[in-house]
Amino acid sequence: GTAQILGGIMLYELSVPISCGTIRYDESIPTPRFRPFTSIQAGDINNQTEFSLFAHLGSHVDAPYHFCETGKKIDEYEIDSFIFRKALLLDVETGKGGRITAEQIRNQEGVSDADILLLHTGYSKYCFNETVYRDDFPALTKEAAVYIREELPNLKAIALDTMSADGTDGVHTNFANHHVLLDTRDDGVRALLIYENMDFTPVLGTEGFFSVYGIPLRLRGIEASPVTMVAEI
C-alpha cells in the first residue's frame, strides 16, 4: 500500500494492484490479460489497452449474488454502501490453517459500533508470496460468521487479508461462511459485503475508528468486482 498526505489527512491504500502475476486462488482461475489495442511504439497515435479479468482476482468485493441467486448484485448497491465511517482494524492474527473465532471478535472494543471490520490475520505480509499466501490460509469459523451477521447490526461489510472468508477447504464445506454472510434470509437480516485479498500493512497498529472507501467498478449484473480500498486517517 501507499500513503499520501492530503490536507493534513493521511490516505493509505489497502488494496493490491492487479498484474499478470497476481496470486490466484488456484490454477483454474484465469490469469489477467492485458492486450494493446493501439500502441504508439507500433505507429498508432496513442496507447489503448484491452484487458480481461476474473472478477474475484486480487483485491475485490463479493456481493450476495456470488452465492445466492436472490442476492444483490454489485450494481444494485447504492454507492454509500461501499463507504465506511467506522472502520475498525481487528488483530485476529493466526497462522497457517488458523480459524478466526467468534470470541476473538466479540472481545475487541468497538465491534458493536463498527460498520466494517478489517480482519488482520497477519497474512497481509504474504500478499506477494504465492507459496505462503494461498497454502491453507486462515479463515473464519462458521460460528464467527454467524456472530458477525446476527449480532453486529451496524456492520455493512468485513474485509480480510486472505484469499477467502472460507479456507482452502471451501469446496468441501460448501463455502459455509460465504453462505452465512451472503444468503438472503427469511427474517430479513441484511447480508454483508465481503472484501478479500486486502493488505492492511499500511494501517497496522491503528486503534479506534477511521474511514475506509472500498468502491468497486460498477459492473452491471454480476456478483463481484475488483476494488481499490483506501483508508483515511
pLDDT digit string, tens, across residues 40-66: 999 999 999 999 999 999 999 999 999
Selection from 159, 177, 139 nearest residue 89 by Cα: 159
> Which has more confidence, 198 or 7?
198
Q: Which three cell numbers stand for residue 109?
A: 472494543
Q: 27: burial class by Cβ within 10 Å (0-12, 13-18, 19+)?
A: exposed
Is pLDDT of 4 > 80? Answer: no
Distance CA 59, CA 227 (A): 6
pLDDT for the residue 9: 87
Is pLDDT of 163 > 90? Answer: yes
Q: 127: burial class by Cβ within 10 Å (0-12, 13-18, 19+)?
A: buried
Which pLDDT tens digit goes with each residue over 86-131?
A: 999 999 999 999 999 999 999 999 999 999 999 999 999 999 999 9
pLDDT confidence bin for 142, thresholds 50/70/90: very high
Is pLDDT of 79 > 70? Answer: yes
Is pLDDT of 1 > 70? Answer: no
